[in-house]
Copies of this chain bind each other. A is one copy, B any other.
Amino acid sequence: MERTTDRSDGPDKVMSMKAAVAAFVQDGATVCLEGFTHLVPTAAGHEIIRQGRRDLTVVRMTADIVVDQMIAAGCVAKLVSSFVGNSSAGSLGELRRRLERAVPEPLEFEEYSHYGMVCRYLAGSQRLPFYPLRSYGGSDLPSVNSALRKVTSPYPGADGEPEQIYVVPPVNPDVTIIHAQRADRRGNTQMWGLTGVQAEAVYAARKAVVVVEEIVADEVVRSDPNRTLVPAHAVDAVVVCPRGAHPSFAQGYYDRDNAFYRAWSHISKDPVRLRDWLAEWVYGTADHAGYVDKLGEAFWEGLAVGEALSEPVNYGRRL
């Protein structure tokens, strides 16, 4: 018998970026921002700067432009990362000054490899005390990062001898912020293209904020439940912020601003220029909508993308 009632309830979690950062990012917190080159939550980082957060521990695999900006704005006391560079475009000026010369002040840095970071998220999301990985044997990284430890497997190795393996500890950020293409109002979040480690970073966190290009109707999400990488039960806030990943990209929405990546190496090299940039583009805009407007429509047309639609699949309907 076909059922006639449906109960799509559950709380609406939509809030402004300002409100979400105010509610979920406290001074001194451990804040994870994930997105591997794609869907970098830049707008969230800018709002953290605008609200003047201090003493944050930032956790991010690829510490790139938004991290350099947050460091320059004085938000960051410690960085946990596996790649500290401006993608393919050069250097992070502020980060290098901090680490090479402690100018204007030191920055604590915990260094991993990419998979070490992935495994920290896996352990955190699965509530495991550690996660094993076949990395670090012979590396100098354990000598500068005491979190990299070893355990002995209780099973013999391939050669019959006891086997040791490195492990990493879980990371459980106070809040994880990710950017995604779309979600429904309750936080069922859909992403496509590069999806990185965002789902695990969300599950590892105490609170999770999902920033999206657009809120879509429940029916859109529910037409393709396998596309939902982060279910509503793991999400605390949904923020609508179109173009919030700039200068990174959102597959199918806008392309990467490669020119800005290249420019950042020059901007960040000069502390004065960097601070001028922050004054103009972050402190000087009320919110990300202001930043988007300031860039102008002609600019955004340059990053526009055409259409390449996925072929629909049939989920089936009981006859």
Asked if A181 contacts B252 (CB within 8 A), the reply is no
Whether A308 touches B304, Cβ cut-off 8 Å, given contacts A132-B129, A226-B192, is: no
Quick one: which of B130, B308, B316 contacts A314, CB cutoff 8 A? B308
A145 at the interface (CB under 8 A from B): no
Q: Using Cβ atoms and an 8 Å threshold, which residues of chain B touch A153?
A: 129-130, 151, 167
Please name the residue on chain B nearest to A249 by beta carbon. B316
Q: Is the Cβ of B305 less than 8 Å from the Cβ of A251?
A: no
| Neighbouring B residues of A129 by C-beta, 8 Å | 132, 153, 155, 157, 163, 165
Interface bits A137-158 vs B (CB < 8 Å: 1, else 0): 0000000000001111111010
Q: Mark A105-136, 1 if CB is under 8 A from B, else 0.
A: 00000000000000000000001111111100
Known: A227-B313, A315-B308. A134 touches B127 (CB 8 A): yes
Cβ contact within 8 Å between B134 and A154: no
A226 touches B227 (CB 8 A): yes
A67 to chain B: closest CB distance in Å?
A: 26
Contacts of A133 in B (CB 8 A): 128
Kindly identify, within residues 177 to 227 of chain A, every residue whose CB is under 8 Å from any CB belonging to chain B.
Answer: 181, 190, 192-193, 195, 220, 223-224, 226-227
- Listed A/B pairs (19) with beta-carbon separation below 8 Å: A127-B134, A128-B133, A129-B153, A149-B155, A150-B154, A151-B152, A153-B167, A154-B167, A190-B313, A193-B226, A223-B308, A227-B310, A251-B315, A252-B316, A305-B318, A308-B316, A310-B310, A310-B313, A311-B312
Size of chain A's interface in residues, with CB distance under 8 A?
50
CB contacts (< 8 Å) of A154 on chain B: these are 130, 149-151, 167
Chain B residue contacts of A316, Cβ below 8 A = 251-253, 255, 305-308
A169 within 8 A of B: yes
A307: which of B190, B309, B314 is its contact (CB, 8 Å)? B314
Measured between alpha carbons, how far is A136 from B134 in the docked complex, in Å? 25
Contacts of A7 in B (CB 8 A): none
Residues of B near A308 (CB, < 8 A) are 223, 314-317
Interface of A: prevailing SS: loop
State whether A223 touches B314 (Cβ < 8 A).
no
For window 268-319 of chain A, which residues contact chain B by CB distance below 8 Å?
304-319
- Binary per-residue interface labels of chain A (233-258) against chain B in the complex, 1 for a CB within 8 Å, 0 otherwise: 00000000000000000011101000
Closest partner residue, chain B, to A254 (CB atom): B316
State A310–B190 Cα separation when bound (angstroms). Answer: 13
Whole-angstrom distance between the Cβ of A65 and the nearest chain B Cβ: 22
Taking the nearest CB of chain B, how far is it from the CB of A115, in angstroms? 10
Q: How far, in Å, is A107 (CB) from chain B's closest CB?
A: 25
In the A-B complex, the 5 residue pairs with the smallest Cβ-Cβ separation, listed nearest first, are: A252-B314, A305-B316, A306-B317, A224-B310, A129-B153
